Amino acid sequence: GAGVSQSPSNKVTEKGKDVELRCDPISGHTALYWYRQSLGQGLEFLIYFQGNSAPDKSGLPSDRFSAERTGGSVSTLTIQRTQQEDSAVYLCASSLEGGASYEQYFGPGTRLTVT
């Protein structure tokens, strides 16, 4: 079956522009996670959705970051006024339910480069 897909696979943007990153989870998975992978910080957890709801947004790096999920499926991560330190690979994962006992399946990521 289809895995987690993310688009675009690569995005180059100029500093100050807004970007939207998309994640399509595995069909039927109610939980969705966003992570950021960068050379300096490693893998960081950003936000978790159970259905369309994100109970805790404190993991987002700044108020320029926002995320939403609609219809219990597709999620978008939006970065406003991008900065060079936002350059990273953004990974999305989904699982059947929330909670550590459920395996998280990762997408291939979106590589964001801010110039």
Partner 1 sequence: AQSVTQLGSHVSVSEGALVLLRCNYSSSVPPYLFWYVQYPNQGLQLLLKYTSAATLVKGINGFEAEFKKSETSFHLTKPSAHMSDAAEYFCAVSGDSGGGADGLTFGKGTHLIIQP
Residues of this chain that interact with partner 1 (CB under 8 A) are 4, 31, 33, 35, 42-43, 45-46, 48, 50, 55-56, 59, 91, 93, 95, 97-109
Nearest residue (CB) to partner 1, 56 versus 63: 56
In the complex, what is the shortest distance from the CB of residue 14 to partner 1, in angstroms, rounded to a whole number? Answer: 24
Nearest residue (CB) to partner 1, 83 versus 103: 103
In the complex, what is the shortest distance from the CB of residue 9 to partner 1, in angstroms, rounded to a whole number? Answer: 9
In the complex, what is the shortest distance from the CB of residue 55 to partner 1, in angstroms, rounded to a whole number? Answer: 5
Nearest residue (CB) to partner 1, 82 versus 110: 110
Nearest residue (CB) to partner 1, 14 versus 40: 40
The DSSP annotation for the chain comes to: ----EEE-SEEEE-TT--EEEEEEPPTT--EEEEEEEETTTEEEEEEEEETTB-S--TTSSSTTEEEEE-TTS-EEEEESS--GGG-EEEEEEEESSSSTTSPPEE---EEEEE-
CB-CB contact of 49 with 30 (8 Å):
no
